[in-house]
Structure 1
Amino acid sequence: MARMGIYGSSFDPITNVHLWTASTIAHRCNLDKIIFLPSSQKRKDKEMKTDDKHRWNMIELAIQDNDKFIADDYELKQEGWKLTTYETLKHFKGFYKDDEIYFIMGADLLVDIGAGKWGQSDSLIKENKFIVMAREGINMLEAISKSAILRNNDDGQTFHLLDKGLSMEISSTYIREEFSMNGEPRYLLPDSCYRYIKEHALYTNSHD
């Protein structure tokens, strides 16, 4: 049985911190594979700045040298109505039937699920396992204890809380802004992705 982590994000663009985070989680949580799952433009809860094809291409470029990393375009191929984390995890548990699946997320998202802001929040927590990364200002244990959804579905195995060592912040938003202002964020993302962005003039007013 393999241990798999599902790492969903806009990846707009993928950064060195995304890669470092995935590598650190794989090491600390003893995961065999990390699946990079880019969010679709069709999602109603996210606003993408870049076409799916470009974000997908950059992910493939970024992870090509790490055999623990996999890119999966499941969400990119789905109809908009099916784009919920509950449905996504149901798909991966069916595909990797003999493996242990964890959804990787930040503590801010844990709070949102606990407040019932995600589709099928109760079933999502009840039927899945999560690796939760600390976020500044959020007490994860307190967040779980104050939410009926979270605490009533926590069997002691539901949440793997990573409280330290994952606080580096280089946001995709910052990188996009640097490119848009003709800045130089070269060393904040993989060289292959930097070259790709330059080649396609992404994050400028004239990108294709």
Structure 2
Amino acid sequence: MAKIGIYGSSFDPVTNVHLWTASTIAHRCKLDKVIFLPCSNRRKDKDMKTEDKHRWHMLKLAIADNATFIADDYEMHQNAWNVYTYQTMEYFKKQFPGDDLYFIMGADLLVDIGNGEWKYSEQLIESNKFIVMARGGIDMMKTIAHSPLLRNNDDGSRFHLVDKGLSMEISSTYIREEFSRGGEPRYLLPESCYEYIKKEGLYR
């Protein structure tokens, strides 16, 4: 049985922090694979700056030299207004029957799910396991304790809480802003992605 983490984000662009986070989680949680899952640029809840084809190409460049990392474009091909994390996890469970799957997310998303702000929150929590990364000073244990949905499904294996140990919060937004303002974010993202952005004139 393999242990697989599902790591969803816009990756607009993928950053060195994304890669470092995935590598840290894979190491600490003994994951065999981390699946990078970029969302569609048709999502109504995100103001996407880049076409899917560019984000997909940069992601493939970024993870090319790491056999633990896999890119999957499943959500890019869905109707963005109808795809939810619960459905995505059901899809991957069918793709990897018998394997142990975890949804990787930040503590801020744990708060949102615990408050019932996600579609199919109950089904998602009841039928999946989660790796939750510390973020923004959020008390993850208190978040679980204060949510009836989370605490009543906390069987000791439902939530794997991870404090990365370093506060590295350089965001894709910051990198886009640097490119647009003539800044130099070269060492905040993979060199191959930096060169691709310059070549294609992205984020101007």
TM-score range, shorter chain: over 0.9
CA distance in 1, matches of 2:179, 2:42: 25
Q: How does 1:123-202 map to 2 (within 5 A)?
A: 123-202=123-202
* 2:5 pairs with 1:13: no
Is the contact between residue 107 and residue 132 of structure 2 (CA under 8 Å) also seen in structure 1? yes
The aligned amino acid for 1:30 is K
Is the contact between residue 134 and residue 166 of structure 1 (CA under 8 Å) also seen in structure 2? no
The aligned amino acid for 1:91 is Y
CA distances 1:158-194 after superposition (whole Å, capped 9, x unpaired): 0000134252111111100000011111111001000
Is the contact between residue 132 and residue 159 of structure 2 (CA under 8 Å) also seen in structure 1? yes
C-alpha displacement of 1:83? 1.4
CA distances 1:140-167 after superposition (whole Å, capped 9, x unpaired): 0100010011111121110000134252
Is the contact between residue 132 and residue 161 of structure 1 (CA under 8 Å) also seen in structure 2? yes
Match of 2:122 in 1: 122
Match of 2:46 in 1: 46
Cα pair distance change 1:19/1:51, threshold 3 Å: same
Is the contact between residue 40 and residue 76 of structure 1 (CA under 8 Å) also seen in structure 2? yes
Match of 1:102 in 2: 102
Is the contact between residue 134 and residue 167 of structure 1 (CA under 8 Å) also seen in structure 2? no
Match of 1:4 in 2: 4
Q: How does 1:14-29 map to 2 (within 5 A)?
A: 14-29=14-29
> TM-score if structure 2 supplies the norm length?
0.97
Q: What SS is found at the alignment partner of 2:126?
A: helix
Aligned residues between the structures: 204
> TM-score if structure 1 supplies the norm length?
0.96
Q: What residue ranges of structure 1 are gaps of 5+ in the alignment?
A: none
C-alpha displacement of 1:135? 1.1
Cα RMSD (Å) = 0.9
CA distance in 1, matches of 2:143, 2:177: 33
Q: What residue ranges of structure 2 are gaps of 5+ in the alignment?
A: none
CA distance in 1, matches of 2:56, 2:133: 24
The aligned amino acid for 2:8 is G
* 2:66 pairs with 1:69: no
Q: What SS is found at the alignment partner of 2:103?
A: strand
The aligned amino acid for 2:4 is M
